[in-house]
Amino acid sequence: MTEALTHTAPDSAGDAAADFQAATVVPATVPVDVPRSAADVEAAVHAIADRSRKAARRMAMANRAWKDRALEAIGRLLRDNSEAILEANAKDVAAGRANGTSAAMLDRLTLTRSRIDGLVAALDNLAGLPDPVGNVVRGQTLPNGLRLRQVNVPMGVVAAIYEARPNVTVDIAGLALKSGNAVILRGGSAAEATNKVLVSILREAVDSVGLPADAVQTVDQYGREGAAVLMRARGKVDVLIPRGGRDLIQSVVTNAAVPVIETGEGNVHIFIDESASEEMAVEILLNAKTQRPSVCNTVETLLVHSGSTVLPAVAAALRAAGVRLHVDERVRQALPASIESVPADDTDWATEYMDLDLAVAMVDSMDQAISHIRTWTTGHTEAILTNHLANAERFIAEVDSAAVIVNASTRFTDGGELGLGAEVGISTQKLHARGPMGLTELTTTKWIVQGEGQIRG
C-alpha cells in the first residue's frame, strides 16, 4: 500500500531547510522483522524511542511554516488514499463485529468519508493556529539587569496508547508535529489494519516536506508487550498519554514508569434546576445524549430538581430517540406510565454507558445535586441548565471538574469545538494540563536568562 501513496516533493523552507535536506531522511517505511522474545521486543521498542528522540531534536528546530506544510501534506494524502483507508477500516470493523465488539466501540472504530473529511478539516484548522513554541509565558528584567523569559518548548517524545480510535492516530500526530514533538503511537489490535495505513500516510507526508519520517512511529507491531515496554521507557519517552476506557487508562497509570497525563473516562452529569425552560432542556439533553453516545463527553447521568416541570417532556423526547432510562424511585413516580424505564442503583450512577442509556435521579436542592456529582463524577464535564444567574455562578464555583458548562450541551468539551484545532485527549488531572489538550498542552517551558557578566553575591 505504501508504494502507492502520492509523494509530494519538498518545498523550499528558507535557510534552515538546507540543513534538514542535507541530513539523511529516514524512509517512509521501515521493514520490521517482529521479534519474539521479551528481550528482543524491549530492544526494538527502545530503538524506536531512540529514533524518535533524534527526530524530536530536528522537529524542535522546525519553524511554523515548515510544520504547517507537513499538516497540509497529511491532509492531501488522507484524501488521495481514502479508498485504501476505508478498505483497511472495513476489515477492522468486520473483525470487531465478528468478535462481539460493542456497538459503542464499533462506532469509535469506524471511519467514513465524512469522518476522513473531518480529519482533514481539523488538520487545516490546526495549521491555521499559532505555533505555541517560543511563546513567552512571562518575563521581566531584574534589578541586577538580568533579563528573564519563560518560554514554551516542545515536550520531545510524546507517546500515546489508545484503543479502537483510528481518528486519534491522525489527531495526536498532527498536534505533536505542530507543537514540535515526535510521537510514538500504540493504537491497539482492534484498529490494526487502519492504523497501519494511516501511519504509512503520516510518515510519507512528513518525509515529503523534508521533516524526519521518524517523527511519527508506532509500536503496534509488538502488541501488548511493546506497549508495556513503552510504558517503562523512562528517559526515552518524555510523556505518555493514555486515551480510552477505564481499564486501559488505569492500566497505564498503574504500570507506567514514564510521566503520564491521565485522560479520563466521562461519567458526565447534567443538572436541570427548577428554573430551566422545557424547550432548552429537551434540545440540550437530546444533543448531549444522542448525537454520538459512544464518546466521553456524552451525558451519562441526568439530575432533575423536584421543583422542575420539564421531566416528562425530556423523558418522552429521550425515549422517542431510543434512550433507555435508568431511574430512581422518585423519577419513576413522576413519569407517566407510558414512558418506559428500568430501576437504577449505585451501579448506574457510577457507569459510563457510552451507549443510548441514561441514569436519571431527582434531587431537592442544588446541595443534593452537587453532592451527587461529587460522589460519582470522574472529573470530566458537568453542566447546569438554569435561568438563575446565582445558581449558575454557584455551580461553576463548587463543581470541581475539568469542564463546567452552563446552558449548553456537554458535547462542547472537545478540542475542536473549543478552538484548539484537535485534541490529544481530555485530561481529568490537575497537573500541567486539564480539560481538552491541544497544542500548548504538548509543550513544557524553559527559562532563558540573559545577562552581561552578572554574578551572584
Whether residue 383 is predicted with pLDDT greater than 70 in this model: the reply is yes
Task: Read off the pLDDT of residues 121-151 as tens digits, 9 standing for 90 and up.
Answer: 999 999 999 999 999 999 999 999 999 999 9
Residue 53 sits in the same domain as residue 167: yes
Considering the domain architecture, whether residues 212 and 321 belong to the same structural domain is answered as: no
pLDDT of res. 34: 59
- Report the percentage of the chain scoring pLDDT > 70: 92
83 within a domain of the structure (yes/no): yes
pLDDT tens per residue, range 270-295: 999 999 999 999 999 999 999 999 88
Asked, for residue 389, whether it belongs to a domain, the answer is yes
Inside any domain, residue 196: yes
183 beta partners: 158, 216
User: Does 363 lie in the same domain as 333?
Assistant: yes
Task: Check whether residue 310 and residue 387 sit in a common domain.
Answer: yes
Residue 358 makes CB contacts below 8 A (sequence gap 6+) with 289, 299, 300, 301, 302, 318, 323, 324, 325, 326
First-to-last alpha carbon distance for the chain, in angstroms, is: 65
Write down which residue in 255, 285, 311 finishes a domain: 255
Q: For residues 405-430, give the mean pLDDT.
A: 88
Q: Are residues 209 and 334 in the same domain?
A: no
Better pLDDT: 327 or 253: 327
Same domain membership, residue 326 and residue 220: no
For the chain, the domain total comes to: 2
Q: Are residues 98 and 196 in the same domain?
A: yes
How confident is the model at residue 100, as a pLDDT?
93
Minimum mean pLDDT range among 222-226, 261-265, 319-323, 358-362? 261-265
On whether residue 290 sits in a domain, the answer given is yes
Cell, residue 156: 520531545
Q: Does residue 204 belong to any structural domain of this protein?
A: yes
302 close to 329: Cβ distance less than 8 angstroms: no
What confidence tens digit (pLDDT) does each residue in 195-247 have? 999 999 999 999 999 999 999 999 999 999 999 999 999 999 999 999 887 78
29 versus 133: which is more confidently predicted? 133
Whether 96 and 168 map to the same domain: the answer is yes
Q: For 235, list phi and psi in degrees, rounded to 5.
A: 90, -15
Instruction: Write down the pLDDT at residue 250.
Output: 86
Asked if residue 95 belongs to a domain, the reply is yes
143 occurs within a structural domain: no
Q: How far apart are CA 191 and CA 107, in angstroms?
A: 12
What is the arithmetic mean of pLDDT over 407-418? Answer: 92
| Of 16 and 118, the one with more pLDDT | 118
Segment 367-373 shows an average pLDDT of: 98
Verify that 409 and 293 share a domain, yes or no: yes
Domain boundary among 255, 290, 317: 255
The predicted model gives 303-321 an average pLDDT of 97
% of the chain surpassing 90 pLDDT: 79
Check pLDDT > 70 for residue 9: no
pLDDT tens per residue, range 62-117: 999 999 999 999 999 999 999 999 999 999 999 999 999 888 789 889 999 999 99
Residue 63 in domain? yes
223 and 295 both lie in a single domain: no
- What pLDDT was estimated at residue 35? 58
pLDDT at residue 423, as a whole number: 80
Lowest-confidence region among 121-125, 367-371, 428-432, 443-447:
428-432
Residue 300 belongs to domain with CATH number: 3.40.309.10
Same domain, 239 and 208: yes
pLDDT at 15 (0 to 100): 37
What is the 3-state secondary structure of the chain?
A: CHHHCCCCCCCCCCHHHHHHHHCCCCCCCCCCCCCCCHHHHHHHHHHHHHHHHHHHHHHCCCCHHHHHHHHHHHHHHHHHCHHHHHHHHHHHHHHHHHCCCCHHHHHHHCCCHHHHHHHHHHHHHHHCCCCCCCCEEEEEECCCCCEEEEEEEECCEEEEEECCCHHHHHHHHHHHHHCCCEEEEECCHHHHHHHHHHHHHHHHHHHHCCCCHHHEEECHHHHHHHHHHHHCCECCECEEEEECCHHHHHHHHHHCCCCECCECCCCEEEEECCCCCHHHHHHHHHHHHHCCCCCCCCEEEEEEECCCCCHHHHHHHHHHCCCEEEECHHHHHHCCCCCCCEECCHHHHCCCCCCCEEEEEEECCHHHHHHHHHHHCCCCEEEEECCCHHHHHHHHHHCCCCEEEECCCHHHCCCCCCCCCCCCCEECCCCCCCEECCCHHHEEEEEEEECCCCCCC
Q: What is the pLDDT of residue 214?
A: 98
The rounded mean pLDDT for the chain is 90
d(CA 285, CA 318): 8
Q: pTM score > 0.85 for this model?
A: no
96 with 203, same domain: the answer is yes
CATH number of the domain where residue 78 is located:
3.40.605.10
pLDDT (0 to 100) of residue 17: 37
Domain that holds residue 292: 269-414
Report pLDDT for 40: 94
Domain termination site, one of 414, 434, 451: 414
**Which amino acid appears at position 34 of this protein?**
V
